[in-house]
């Protein structure tokens, strides 16, 4: 860390301070060196092109599995291995770049970097060995492929995912105890089942002996926990005497309902606790960085240290070159409330948050048609048309049209009248969009946050293009263009979603769901990592053991999936042959089926038959990792997101900006934008704006981006900021790193803590 | 409510005040009249015998379904209807009793009472009509049987259940919107599926056309949400092209994972919100009652109103005649901290809570053997034996014995050596218990809250009795006593649970689970009500349609469950014939299977075949009510219980008692009790206790009952008490009733509120 007294030239000072602010703004945690060269390298490291390139190569590296044997689209080994070497080179240079930026002792202390280096090294060795053996015609296992997700987790901006993984790791001990207790219960019930049913000479539906082998009972009862073989596993005993059903009901209540809920509770509670600790660390870190930046820039003004307005502006320009001058002026007005020409520490520290709030700068413009054809546009007919489009009934009319459309879609496609009707509907929808564009200002209509306008327009245009393409195919050739037709069908049905947006209650739920999307993407990454690893293992173990033969195949083994071991198996009877690990796409689909859980014992049984009974362990492991851990974390994610949405209003900082925007009279509500009232309002209040301290050009307004774009993560972070004493310098760097989740825990439980 | 100035004689005053305290203590909400006669009737109404009788008759009334046609154990109609009339009479007189106690206008305003009267009337009418028709040999439907759970919900002490039902009712609107959105999504996906797969001429595994009928698609996709037909429903499309699997994966992610989690979130959030409001009302009500009682008893003492010690004692004696004198003295010392001879308002209001805390009064007694045979008991050998039993290794030895026992249980029963080993193990366990009884004071060992000691001893004694019975059966007759043997097996395996208690981490989890039991019982009642109603409907609709033929039956229709409609159905092929609605026990088992969800579409399909396709609606309704509502509430219950357990330490009031107990030096820790250190401690500190202000007889100690026995409900209630301003009189009766859940919501969200 740079002591403020260090002799850097002024421009370097600014660059360094901006680097700190930048780090704070994006919640980065890169302890960069403060030498001028390192700061420049730091900017380069965080440039979006560099980040995009890293993402791209991580993606390429992962998708190699599509082209490697067993491949969806086979490519020669030389090609895939060359690409892999290229990826490794990129990863290595990225790591080198990071090493140049970071102080040496910190770089080597970080497990992440060691992990990356090891992964690169192992992959390289593995490639060389595999290649050499291949030349000698010896097939070997490319075990290092399993390490590829490491790059996804440890590189790039996937800090959230890293945090999620750390939280999982920290949750493990507690889960393990519950899991052991749960397994104990399963083992005990299995023992009971063995004693109760083992000597009864009962038979399963398939005629095999019922509950005679302890290990098989354990597996069957484990499957029962997942409910996949209910009620079949119970039927022989139930047929014998209905009292025995009590055994299974007790088992299900204890192990499925109670234990699985306890798993959810433990995962939820621990995961949240650890996640909160991580986020709190981030909040402290942000404060720490902002104070560093302040200390570099501060000058004495009266009794307190402040940052001069000019310096402040230069830093903001460096940190966020993309924001408009008027936006910067607005931020300054908020930071320097009394226009004293400097920013005090408290306001300066808030800068990172202010920069993070999406303030949309809009120029209120009259409609372009008004500009070009004022007479036509402002004529009585035009005015009437526009007021009609703005009327509620216009929306209702189109809702009715959508409903009629839904009925037509459901009807038979072959009828020519109905396929003509499709053209009619398409033109009605296009008319709607054109009418709206005529009424509302186009750039307002297509503003960044007008999710539904974008959605509608894209769906309609895509449907138009696809329908035309489809008609062209139909008339010109015998090729029936099934793919295009499928897309047309999907687009047509998706159009119906619009009706949801016209009902207020539905819109609220939808908005919450859309809010959750960013969080779910993190979760998607998490799932991808686990799936990828299991898919690679699955392909190594089960590849080629089960074959799929298309309908009408004459192969004698078609009915037993190309493997005699599957003869008369439930697997083959249910026609599950296509559920195999013969390429990465199939593997992912099978893993998805295993996640859904139902029939997983049939899949496990099938694969165990073609390999070995121990193969069931693979499926049990997948169940424990994915269904008990990952899915519960997913549910916890969604619960948390909903609760945060329910209990939180706008955060403090956001309110500060909004207040200032309102104060300056340059605010605008989202509703006004859509109703077109805006322009009318602006026309009347226009004069008041002129001559204000902030140079608002005529018709310039600001707007806080809709709540829709805030994530749970961001909300949690802001909550923690309230916790940190504002006058304080905050904790030291090491103290921050050593914060423990126990500290997060509320010390004095209130009603809220249980709420 | 009685104005304090009303002219009741002193004894009546005390009775009335005690009635208020009693009401507050048990969280009753009976607005009784204050006339002397009404107060006496009120005591009678709440006497435990009256309550037990009501419970008994509610139970009898519900269990009539076992004996009525279709019966598990058939009884003539005359017998069951006479019993039912008797039950109705009891219910009516209970209601009459309640009417006598309650002010008339309040009685008639309460929906609960109207509901009960209607239920009694309708049942009576139904009985008469049904009886008359039966005499004329016309069979009619006993539709009023569906109303029986009303008595369970509205009578007796089932306030918790009533509250749960009210909360469900209040949650309905919000759930409905999410449900509609969810159904919209299912319908839209079904439309897409129809367009995508309808014209492909695909076939299901059973050879029927795939996705051609819209209503069938909707049902299939609804089943897919429950995951019951995954991956079968996908396979035909997947076999055709693997791209189509994306359709199903998207569907499952959106509808199963996201929507079902949203249901959980909405149910959880709303249910909790409403439950908290109810509990908060209770807390206010309690305060209100206590203030009423205080106002009756208060006398002026200096500047403040107080209750005299003698009056206080008399009220406590009236309210809780069962508590010991020393316990009462302890409570007085807590209420009258400075021994001023009176209790002030603040302390008096706390009385209801103090009475609710289980304080166990224990007389520390030396071991009876020490009393009878002091020389033997205190001899060196005896002392060595006792120290051995107290040693950790003693526990470990028995853990090893249990493990060896587990292996023996798993081994073959026929081997005579092993059945001898069973006797050896039994004697080892009995020796253990005897040794422990020799070492620890028997009454301490079998104290009320020593759950595991009770558990161990009961299991061992039961196993001993059952094993002896079994041996007796074996030797004397050819009857193999299978039931007894089954019980022996179960008891033997249950013994293994003990090993859990010797590992600290497991014990913590187990204790939390045991803590949840009371809450789960409420839930059990809730489930019983819903199950009972569905079972009655199910029996009316499906009774006799499906028959079960025991294995080896020669009936030609045995394989198709006695119904030709089921020929070649999945239902018959899976041998589900015993899953029918032919009596209440079978109905409950089928409903349990439906709750577990797996294969529910096969069950629904089977019953739809033997009646009508519309029968599927019954199963869908059950799924919505039980799986989406009730199971989610159950999960919410468990989550909440875990979170409260995690975040709460002992509550304020409890701590006050504990502090006082410690202050007086009469406290005892649970651990000490078990380790037997207690007596040694007592022997040394004995003298200090003598001559204390509180008349502790030699060796008398108090102990707060273990946390294990506290419920979530009680915890929540205490949390709310902290909220009520203590100086305040509290809200008025009507204000309390009109509290809305919105008020419960934290106004200023803090970190805790999202925790």
Q: What is the pLDDT of residues A172-213, one digit of tens each?
A: 888 899 999 999 999 999 999 988 888 888 888 888 889 888
CA distances from B566 to B101, B219, B504, B606, B607 (A): 58, 20, 54, 7, 9
Q: Do B489 and A196 touch (CB under 8 A)?
A: yes
Is it the case that residue A688 has pLDDT exceeding 60? no
Rounded CA gap, B334 and B328, in Å? 10
Our CA-based measurement puts residue A512 at a distance from the nearest CA of chain B, in whole angstroms, of 10
Pick from A41-50, B401-410, B528-537 the range whose average pLDDT is largest. B528-537
More confident residue, A1 or B174: B174
Rounded CA gap, A277 and A740, in Å? 7
pLDDT at B148: 92
More confident residue, B333 or A257: A257
Q: Tell me what the pLDDT averaged over chain B comes to.
A: 79
Q: Tell me what the pLDDT averaged over chain A comes to.
A: 79
Is it the case that residue B290 has pLDDT exceeding 80? yes
Nearest CA in chain B to A228: B598
C-beta separation of A657 from A354 below 8 A: yes
Q: Do A195 and B229 touch (CB under 8 A)?
A: no
Give the pLDDT confidence of B78-114 residue by residue, as tens digits. 899 999 999 999 999 999 988 888 888 888 888 888 9
pLDDT at A361: 64
pLDDT at B325: 80
pLDDT at B419: 73
Closest partner CB to A505 (pick from B177, B406, B646) = B177
Cβ neighbours of residue A82 closer than 8 Å, sequence gap 6 or more:
none
Chain B residues with CB under 8 Å of A269 CB are 642-643, 646
For residue B231, cis peptide bond before it (omega within 30 degrees of 0) = yes
More confident residue, B337 or B394: B394
Confidence of residue B709 (pLDDT cuts 50, 70, 90): very low
Our CA-based measurement puts residue A497 at a distance from the nearest CA of chain B, in whole angstroms, of 8
CA atoms within 13 A on the CB side of A540: 14
Rounded CA gap, A609 and A565, in Å? 6
Q: Do A496 and B191 touch (CB under 8 A)?
A: yes
C-beta separation of B23 from B50 below 8 A: no
Q: Do B242 and A745 touch (CB under 8 A)?
A: no
Confidence of residue A275 (pLDDT cuts 50, 70, 90): confident
More confident residue, A272 or A9: A272
Confidence of residue A125 (pLDDT cuts 50, 70, 90): very high
Chain A residues with CB under 8 Å of B406 CB are 191
Q: Exposed/middle/buried for B197, CB within 10 Å: 0-12, 13-18, 19+?
A: buried
Give the pLDDT confidence of B219-241 residue by residue, as tens digits. 999 999 999 988 889 999 998 88
pLDDT at B685: 37
Cβ neighbours of residue A280 closer than 8 Å, sequence gap 6 or more:
A720, A723, A739, A744
Closest partner CB to A754 (pick from B229, B268, B644) = B644
Closest partner CB to A188 (pick from B493, B642, B643) = B493
Give the SS3 label for residue B371: helix
pLDDT at A475: 72
Q: Do A551 and B649 touch (CB under 8 A)?
A: no
Mutate to test the interface with A, among B180, B251, B755 (most CBs of A within 10 A): B755
Our CA-based measurement puts residue A510 at a distance from the nearest CA of chain B, in whole angstroms, of 9
Nearest CA in chain B to A179: B506
| pTM as predicted | 0.85
Pick from A27-36, A548-557, A624-633, B516-525 the range whose average pLDDT is largest. A624-633
Q: A64-78, A690-704, A707-721, B111-125: lowest mean pLDDT where?
A: A690-704
CA atoms within 13 A on the CB side of B88: 21
Our CA-based measurement puts residue A533 at a distance from the nearest CA of chain B, in whole angstroms, of 20
Confidence of residue A121 (pLDDT cuts 50, 70, 90): very high
pLDDT at A3: 44
Rounded CA gap, A741 and B381, in Å? 51
Give the pLDDT confidence of A527-556 residue by residue, as tens digits. 999 999 999 999 989 988 898 888 777 888
Q: Do A754 and B235 touch (CB under 8 A)?
A: no
Q: Do A596 and B647 touch (CB under 8 A)?
A: no
Nearest to B368 by CA among B417, B437, B414, B426: B437
Our CA-based measurement puts residue A562 at a distance from the nearest CA of chain B, in whole angstroms, of 15
Q: Do B575 and A191 touch (CB under 8 A)?
A: no
Closest partner CB to B723 (pick from A177, A231, A751) = A751
Rounded CA gap, B694 and B691, in Å? 8
Q: How far from chain centre, in Å, is Cα A661? A: 32
Confidence of residue B5 (pLDDT cuts 50, 70, 90): very low
pLDDT at B729: 52
For residue A439, how many other CB atoms are within 10 A of its CB? 18
Our CA-based measurement puts residue B221 at a distance from the nearest CA of chain A, in whole angstroms, of 14
Q: What is the mean pLDDT of residues B108-134?
A: 90
pLDDT at A606: 92
Our CA-based measurement puts residue A494 at a distance from the nearest CA of chain B, in whole angstroms, of 8
Rounded CA gap, B437 and B367, in Å? 9
CA distances from B739 to B32, B163, B727, B733 (A): 21, 14, 20, 10
Closest partner CB to A410 (pick from B191, B256, B755) = B191
pLDDT at A16: 82
Q: What is the mean pLDDT of residues B731-740?
A: 64
Q: A346-360, A680-694, B167-181: lowest mean pLDDT where?
A: A680-694
Q: Tell me which H or E stretch contains A255.
A: none
Q: What is the mean pLDDT of residues A112-116?
A: 89
Is it the case that residue B504 has pLDDT exceeding 50? yes
Nearest CA in chain B to A407: B191
Q: What is the mean pLDDT of residues A410-427?
A: 78
Q: Do B269 and A646 touch (CB under 8 A)?
A: yes
Q: What is the mean pLDDT of residues B618-622?
A: 95
Structure tokens at A461: 């245009």
pLDDT at A204: 86
Is it the case that residue B147 has pLDDT exceeding 80? yes
pLDDT at B7: 45
Rounded CA gap, A99 and A103, in Å? 7
Q: Do A262 and B638 touch (CB under 8 A)?
A: yes
pLDDT at A746: 38
Q: In chain A, what percentage of residues exceed pLDDT 70?
A: 80
Q: What is the mean pLDDT of residues A432-461?
A: 83
Nearest CA in chain A to B276: A755
pLDDT at A79: 92
Q: A339-353, B57-71, B404-418, B665-679: lowest mean pLDDT where?
A: B665-679
The dihedral built from the CA positions of residue B590, B591, B595 and B597, taken in this order, carries a sign that is positive
Give the SS3 label for residue B357: coil
pLDDT at A364: 62
DSSP B495: G
Is it the case that residue A594 has pLDDT exceeding 90? yes
How many Cβ contacts (< 8 angstroms) between chains A and B? 262
Cβ neighbours of residue A749 closer than 8 Å, sequence gap 6 or more:
B647, B648, B649, B719
pLDDT at B680: 40
Q: Do A500 and B184 touch (CB under 8 A)?
A: yes
Confidence of residue A511 (pLDDT cuts 50, 70, 90): confident
Q: Do B642 and A239 touch (CB under 8 A)?
A: no
CA angle B590–B620–A233, rounded 5-degree value = 35
Is it the case that residue A343 has pLDDT exceeding 80? yes
Is it the case that residue B591 has pLDDT exceeding 90? yes
Is it the case that residue A244 has pLDDT exceeding 80? yes
Our CA-based measurement puts residue B260 at a distance from the nearest CA of chain A, in whole angstroms, of 9
Confidence of residue A221 (pLDDT cuts 50, 70, 90): very high
Q: Do A177 and B506 touch (CB under 8 A)?
A: yes
Q: Do B631 and A745 touch (CB under 8 A)?
A: no
More confident residue, A227 or B357: A227
- Please state at what angle helix B260-297 crosses helix B309-319, rounded to 10 degrees: 130
Q: In chain B, what percentage of residues exceed pLDDT 90?
A: 20
């Amino acid at each position: 860390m740079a002591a403020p007294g260090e002799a850097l030239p002024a421009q370097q000072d600014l660059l360094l301070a901006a680097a700190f602010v930048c780090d704070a703004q994006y919640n980065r945690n890169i302890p960069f060196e403060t030498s001028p060269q390192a700061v420049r390298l730091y900017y380069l490291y965080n440039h979006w092109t560099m980040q995009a390139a890293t993402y791209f190569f991580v993606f390429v590296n992962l998708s190699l599995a599509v082209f490697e044997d067993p491949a969806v689209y086979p490519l020669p080994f030389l090609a895939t291995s060359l690409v892999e070497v290229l990826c490794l080179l990129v990863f290595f240079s990225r790591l080198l770049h990071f090493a140049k930026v970071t102080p040496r002792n910190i770089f080597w202390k970080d497990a992440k970097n060691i992990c990356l280096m090891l992964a690169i090294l192992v992959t390289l060795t593995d490639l060389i060995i595999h290649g050499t053996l291949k030349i000698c015609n010896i097939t070997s296992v490319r075990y290092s492929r399993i390490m590829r997700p490491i790059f996804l987790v440890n590189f790039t901006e996937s800090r959230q995912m890293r945090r999620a993984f750390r939280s999982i790791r920290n949750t493990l001990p507690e889960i393990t105890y519950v899991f052991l207790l749960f397994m104990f219960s399963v083992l005990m019930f299995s023992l009971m089942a063995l004693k109760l049913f083992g000597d009864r000479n009962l038979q399963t539906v398939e005629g095999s002996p019922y509950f005679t082998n302890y290990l098989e009972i354990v597996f069957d009862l484990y499957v029962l926990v997942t409910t996949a073989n209910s009620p079949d596993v119970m039927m022989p005993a139930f047929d014998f005497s209905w009292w025995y059903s009590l055994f299974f009901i007790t088992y299900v209540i204890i192990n499925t309902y109670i234990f699985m809920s306890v798993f959810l509770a433990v995962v939820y509670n621990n995961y949240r606790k650890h996640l909160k600790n991580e986020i709190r660390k981030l909040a402290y870190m942000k404060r720490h960085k902002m104070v560093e930046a302040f200390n570099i820039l501060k000058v004495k003004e009266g009794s307190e240290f402040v940052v001069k307005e000019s310096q402040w502006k230069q830093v903001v320009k460096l940190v966020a070159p993309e924001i408009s001058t008027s936006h910067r002026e607005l931020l300054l007005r908020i930071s320097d409330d009394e226009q004293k020409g400097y920013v005090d520490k408290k306001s300066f520290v808030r800068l990172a948050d202010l920069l993070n709030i999406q303030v949309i700068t809009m120029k209120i413009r009259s409609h372009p048609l008004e500009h070009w054809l004022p007479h036509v546009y402002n004529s009585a007919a035009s005015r009437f048309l526009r007021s009609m489009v703005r009327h509620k009934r216009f929306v209702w009319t189109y809702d009715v049209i959508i409903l009629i459309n839904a009925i037509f879609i459901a009807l038979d496609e072959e009828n020519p009248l109905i396929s003509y009707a499709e053209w009619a509907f398409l033109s009605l929808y296009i008319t709607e969009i054109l009418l709206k564009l005529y009424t509302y200002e186009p750039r307002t209509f297509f503003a960044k946050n007008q999710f539904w306008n974008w959605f509608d327009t894209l769906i309609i245009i895509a449907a138009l293009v696809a329908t035309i393409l489809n008609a062209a195919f139909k008339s010109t050739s015998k090729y029936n263009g099934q793919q295009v037709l499928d897309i047309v069908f999907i687009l047509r049905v998706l159009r119906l979603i619009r009706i949801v947006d016209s009902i207020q209650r539905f819109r609220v739920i939808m908005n919450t769901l859309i809010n959750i999307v960013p969080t779910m993407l993190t979760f998607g990454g998490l799932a991808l990592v686990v799936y990828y690893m299991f898919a690679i293992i699955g392909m190594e173990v089960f590849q080629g053991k089960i074959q799929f033969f298309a309908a009408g195949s004459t192969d004698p083994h078609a009915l037993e999936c190309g493997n005699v071991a599957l003869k008369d198996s439930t697997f083959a009877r249910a026609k599950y042959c296509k559920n195999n690990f013969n390429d990465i796409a199939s593997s992912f689909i099978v893993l998805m089926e295993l996640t859904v859980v139902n029939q997983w014992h049939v899949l496990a049984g099938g694969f165990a038959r073609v390999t070995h009974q121990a193969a069931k362990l693979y499926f049990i492991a997948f169940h424990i990792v994915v269904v008990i851990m990952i899915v519960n974390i997913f549910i916890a994610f969604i619960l948390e997101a909903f609760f945060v949405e329910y209990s939180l209003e706008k955060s403090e900082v956001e309110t500060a900006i909004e207040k200032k925007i309102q104060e300056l009279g340059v605010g605008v509500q989202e509703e006004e934008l859509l109703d077109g009232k805006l322009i009318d309002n602006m026309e009347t209040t226009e004069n008041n704006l002129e001559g204000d301290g902030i140079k608002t050009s005529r018709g310039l307004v600001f707007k806080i981006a809709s709540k829709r774009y805030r994530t749970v993560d961001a909300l949690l972070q802001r909550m923690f900021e309230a916790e940190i004493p504002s006058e304080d310098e905050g904790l030291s760097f090491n103290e921050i790193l050593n914060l423990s989740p126990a500290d997060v825990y509320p010390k004095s439980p209130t009603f809220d803590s249980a709420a």
